[in-house]
Amino acid sequence: TWTTETFVEEAIREIRGKVGDKRVLLALSGGVDSSTLAFLLHQAIGDQLTCMFIDQGFMRKYEPEKLVKLFDDRFHISVEYVNARDRFLEQLKGVTDPEEKRKRIGGEFIRVFEEESARLGPFDYLAQGTLYPDVIESADTNVDPKTGERVAVKIKSHHNVGGLPKDLRFKLVEPLRKLFKDEVRKVGRSIGLPEEIVRRHPFPGPGLAIRILGEVTAEKLNILRDADFIVRDEIHKSGVYHDFWQAFAVLLPVRSVGVMGDQRTYAYPVVLRFVSSEDGMTADWSRVPYDLLETISNRIVNEVRGVNRVVYDITSKPPGTIEWE
């Protein structure tokens, strides 16, 4: 029978056999897959592994810091933290179209990835958190997974980018390729990943950038990050985090009139988007207790400057998508 212990042992043996004394690059995203992957590789090959984390500036409040600290403190894995916030923001100047946003973010990701892997490398292998469902469906590699030599033509997982440049072809090491998501979670738990990562809600690669409708600016990122933090804080406090597939805030590019004290305000609305789902393909809007909505709404309006109204999205998928962009 399958156990996490035997899986970990075998994965480590297999990684050592495959990689030998070569160097491996891993791009961390902060999710359970890439975190588990990092742990296994580090156990197997130690310093031959380089973990890189590219901070696009679109993650949730405190998450980049927390990720680097977790790896440092708990796993003694040092992470090459790449602060690329300004460059990504620069790419999004004046961009309002959702697809164009994704394209620009994906393009910039490749450029940063290339530059940083050249700076830190050379590397022989790229570690990818490919899971079994990806293997059976995938068209993202050009060799049969079972025969061994897979070549990356696309950075998977959270990045959603079109493809790696041709001269940047890595051999792949994919120790999670026989696992389903729930098995990765079990392995993650068994190696000491905090529940916060193991059962984290899905978070899109382009992050907060596709939850700010219209142009993404530093100011709007700050507003949304703070509103989003309050949402998570309150659902954690009331113990309902795991009742949702995702629960987050969206910032709209319109303003409406409000009143604060005896002052008229003219500020942005925040949309709360809470859904339940099995796989993200379809979703139902969540019937959230009014009291929770009230607490979140009060806190956002009182604590986040620039927001004077909170609305709740009652659209299921289909016809709505989970994200607003």
What residues line the site for ligand XMP (CB under 6 A)?
102, 158, 160, 202, 204-206, 246, 280, 317, 321-323
Nearer to ligand XMP, 17 or 318 (CB): 318
Q: Does 31 carry a binding-site annotation? A: yes
Using DSSP's 3-state secondary structure scheme, residue 310 falls into: strand
CA–CA distance from 142 to each of 107, 120, 320 (Å)?
A: 21, 26, 34
Nearer to ligand XMP, 44 or 112 (CB): 112
CB of 129 to ligand XMP, least distance (A): 12
Parallel/antiparallel/unpaired status of strands 256-260 and 284-285: unpaired
Q: Does 34 carry a binding-site annotation? A: yes
CB of 324 to ligand XMP, least distance (A): 8
CB of 141 to ligand XMP, least distance (A): 18
Q: Does 33 carry a binding-site annotation? A: yes
Nearer to ligand XMP, 114 or 313 (CB): 313
CB of 109 to ligand XMP, least distance (A): 11
- Helix ranges (H only) for the chain are 4-19, 32-45, 63-75, 85-91, 98-120, 132-137, 181-190, 195-198, 218-237, 290-303
Q: Does 30 carry a binding-site annotation? A: yes
Nearer to ligand XMP, 16 or 103 (CB): 103
Nearer to ligand XMP, 14 or 140 (CB): 140
CB of 15 to ligand XMP, least distance (A): 26
What is the C-alpha to C-alpha distance for residues 48 and 28, in angstroms, rounded to an integer? 16
Cis amide prior to 145 (ω within 30 degrees): no
Q: Please, are residues 253 and 213 in contact by the beta-carbon 8 Å criterion? A: yes
Q: Give helix then strand counts, H and E, for the chain.
A: 10, 10
CB of 205 to ligand XMP, least distance (A): 4
Nearer to ligand XMP, 85 or 200 (CB): 200
Give the residue among 240, 251, 308, 306 at the shortest CA–CA distance from 274.
240
Give the residue among 163, 203, 166, 164 at the shortest CA–CA distance from 34.
203
Q: Does 138 carry a binding-site annotation? A: no
Alpha carbon dihedral 156, 162, 168, 171, in 10-degree steps, equals: 30
Nearer to ligand XMP, 63 or 124 (CB): 63
What is the C-alpha to C-alpha distance for residues 324 and 271, in angstroms, rounded to an integer? 10
Q: Between 63-75 and 32-45, two packed helices, what is the crossing angle to 10 degrees?
A: 30
CB of 121 to ligand XMP, least distance (A): 25
Query: First-to-last CA distance in the chain?
Result: 43
Annotated binding site: 29-35
Binding-site annotation: residue ranges for ATP: 29-35
